[in-house]
Amino acid sequence: MTTTAWQPDATGPNLVVHADNAEFLPTLPDGSFTLIYVDPPFNTGRVQSRRQTTMVHNAEGAGDRVGFGGRSYDTIKGALHSYDDAFTDYWQFLEPRLVEAWRLLADDGTLYLHLDYREVHYAKVMLDAIFGRECFLNEIIWAYDYGARAKSRWPAKHDNILVYVKNPKTYHFNSAEVDREPYMAPGLVTPEKRELGKLPTDVWWHTIVSPTGKEKTGYPTQKPEGLLRRAVAASSREGDWVLDFFAGSGTLGAVASKLGRRFVCVDANPQAIEVMTARLGHVATVVGPDLSCAADDAGTAQDGVMRAADPEHCAEEVIRPGQPTLFEP
Ligand SMILES: C[S@@+](CC[C@H](N)C(=O)[O-])C[C@H]1O[C@@H](n2cnc3c(N)ncnc32)[C@H](O)[C@@H]1O
């Protein structure tokens, strides 16, 4: 099934891959990752135009078309109708990538699919079909409190993260590794419990990335590290490989590196690669879809092809932490 030399081995470099995930994912070996987190873009569809055409019988036989029984018709060109097929298009875009996610998960692996409230129900049905209903573990609600509040309905202030496991009997989940929360009524629990805090539930209150904070990369859809830290801590172990194939600013890579996991972050957008190079360049090799160094992105390779088989050379030459980026933090 696989066509690249990449293997999830303990000595290989972390990777930032500049590629369309549809092209790159099929090159990875089955069962390589303990955790896959993805936060796909909404609405990759396009507005289509179609002209409605009607045929009207011409009694004098002078129409521009001849139909059944030799009857004559005039063709009337109707209004140009535009319709938004974004929805169908979106699910056609996402489904094959989620099937790949299933293939790439190890037997003890877990998928975290980050969506918003408009998409999540369709995705739940799709993932039930791909993984099996018995593999559904959780729907995590990420609740935040930011921005204006609608007056005509309940202001929507949450995202949804669907969690599916490859195998409900063997999946890895270690709640002892997860950061704990303060009790809401600390006076009602023992000092020991108060000190320890309580385990989070499936509702995670967390601020968005602060527009003025240190974590901000400037990438528009950047998610907070605190969210991903919980997922990575609970659903993978030190040394495991984790994957984000809609990586954006590389939040999964940043968290994985801090928690001692190995990572592959994939994005098709050159600006995302630029942000990830600045954010993760000191811990990852930046490559193209064939695992050659992404010389075009960094502009340092002489012949444009340096193989990831020599990752140290690749990293040394291609990655320049601190180089100016499009998105200044
Ligand atoms: C919502 S953003 C992810 C943000 C990320 N979670 C973070 O914390 O920065 C979605 C990303 O998917 C990328 N993307 C969209 N289509 C893609 C494709 N076919 N292959 C790879 N990346 C793609 C976009 O460039 C964008 O960076």
Question: Mind spelling out the 3-state secondary structure of the chain?
Answer: CCCCCCCCCCCCCEEEEECCHHHHHHHCCCCCEEEEEECCCCCCCCEEEEEEEEEEECCCCCCCEECHHHCEEEEEEEEEEEEECHHHHHHHHHHHHHHHHHHHEEEEEEEEEEEECCCHHHHHHHHHHHHCHHHEEEEEEEECCCCCCCCCCCCCCEEEEEEEECCCCCCCCCHHHCCCECCCCHHHCCHHHHHHCECCCCEEECCCCCCCCCCCCCCCCCCCHHHHHHHHHHHCCCCCEEEECCCCCCHHHHHHHHCCCEEEEEECCHHHHHHHHHHHCCCEEEECCCCEECHHHHCCCCCCCCECCCHHHHHHHHCCCCCCCCCCC
Domain boundary among the residues 83, 99, 130 is at 83
What whole-number distance in Å separates Cα of residue 195 and Cα of residue 191?
6
Structure tokens at 116: 């918003």
| Same-domain pairing of 67 and 165 | no
Number of CB atoms found within 10 A of residue 230's CB: 19
The answer to whether residues 267 and 168 belong to one domain is: yes
Judged against a pLDDT cut of 80, whether residue 302 lies above it is answered with: no
Q: Could you identify the residue written with the tokens 């998960």? A: 105
Residue 316 confidence (pLDDT): 30
Structure-model confidence comparison of residues 47 and 210, the more confident one: 210
Residue 327: the pLDDT is 28
Mean of pLDDT values over 276-297: 85
Taking the CA of residue 93 as reference, the ligand 1 atom at the shortest distance is 19
Q: What is the pLDDT of residue 37?
A: 98
Based on the domain organization, do 42 and 147 belong to the same domain? yes
Instruction: Clarify whether residues 78 and 209 are in a common domain.
Output: no
> Residue 321 pLDDT > 50, yes or no?
no
42 and 58 belong to one structural domain: no
C-alpha to C-alpha distance for 53 and 55, rounded to whole angstroms: 7
Q: Is 222 in the pocket of ligand 1 (CB under 6 A)?
A: yes
Top pLDDT among 262 and 309 is at: 262
User: Average pLDDT of 282-297?
Assistant: 81
| Residue 3 pLDDT | 60
Q: Please state the rounded mean pLDDT for residues 82-110.
A: 87
| 1 within some domain | no
User: What is the pLDDT, as a whole number, of residue 299?
Assistant: 37
Residues 240 and 188 grouped into a single domain:
yes
Query: How much distance in Å is there from the Cα of 39 to the middle of ligand 1?
Result: 7
Residue at 5 is within a domain: no
* Residue 149 banded pLDDT, cuts 50, 70, 90: very high
Q: Which residue has the higher pLDDT, 51 or 255?
A: 255
Is 71 inside any structural domain? yes
Average pLDDT over residues 282-298: 78
| Average of per-residue pLDDT across 72-80 | 60
pLDDT of residue 61: 76
The confidence band for 54, taking pLDDT boundaries of 50, 70 and 90, is low
Q: Which of 57, 83, 109 is a domain's end point?
A: 83
Ligand 1 in reach of 248 Cβ (< 6 A): yes
Q: Name the residue among 24, 21, 26 with its Cα closest to residue 38.
A: 21
Rg (CA), the chain: 25
The pLDDT assigned to 326 comes to 28
Residues 59 and 38 placed together within one structural domain of the fold: no
pLDDT at 11: 82
Average pLDDT, the chain: 83
Does residue 327 fall inside a structural domain? Answer: no
Q: Which domain holds residue 69?
A: 48-83
Strand order across the 105-116 sheet: 203-205, 136-143, 158-165, 105-116, 33-38, 241-244, 262-267, 14-18, 284-287
Whole-model pTM: value is: 0.81
19 and 54 inside one domain: no
Residue 48 confidence (pLDDT) above 50? no
Q: Which mutation among 221, 245, 263 tests ligand 1's pocket best, with the greatest number of atoms within 8 A of CB?
A: 221
- pLDDT surpasses 50 at 308: no
Q: How many domains does the chain have?
A: 2
Residues 64 and 208 reside in one and the same domain: no
Co-location of 138 and 73 in the same domain: no
Q: Quick check: is 90 in a domain?
A: yes
What's the one-letter identity of residue 142? W
In a domain, 107, yes or no: yes
263 CB less than 6 Å from ligand 1? no
| Separation of CA 267 and ligand 1 centre (Å) | 6
Q: What is the pLDDT of residue 68?
A: 61
pLDDT of 305 over the 70 cut: no
pLDDT digits (tens, 9 = 90+) for 228-261: 999 999 999 999 999 999 999 999 999 999 999 9
Q: What is the CATH number of the domain that holds 212?
A: 3.40.50.150
Q: Per the domain annotation, does 323 fall within a domain?
A: no
| Model confidence pLDDT, tens digit, residues 103-148 | 999 999 999 999 999 889 999 999 999 999 999 999 999 999 888 8
Q: Which atom of ligand 1 is nearest to the CA of 38?
A: 6
On whether both 95 and 241 belong to a single domain, the answer is yes
Q: Is the CB of 224 under 6 A from ligand 1?
A: no
pLDDT of residue 10: 80
In a domain, 325, yes or no: no
Say yes or no: CB of residue 266 within 6 Å of ligand 1. yes
> What is the arithmetic mean of pLDDT over 179-194?
92
Mean per-residue pLDDT, 165-176: 98
The more confident residue out of 92 and 308 is 92
Residues 188 and 127 in one domain: yes
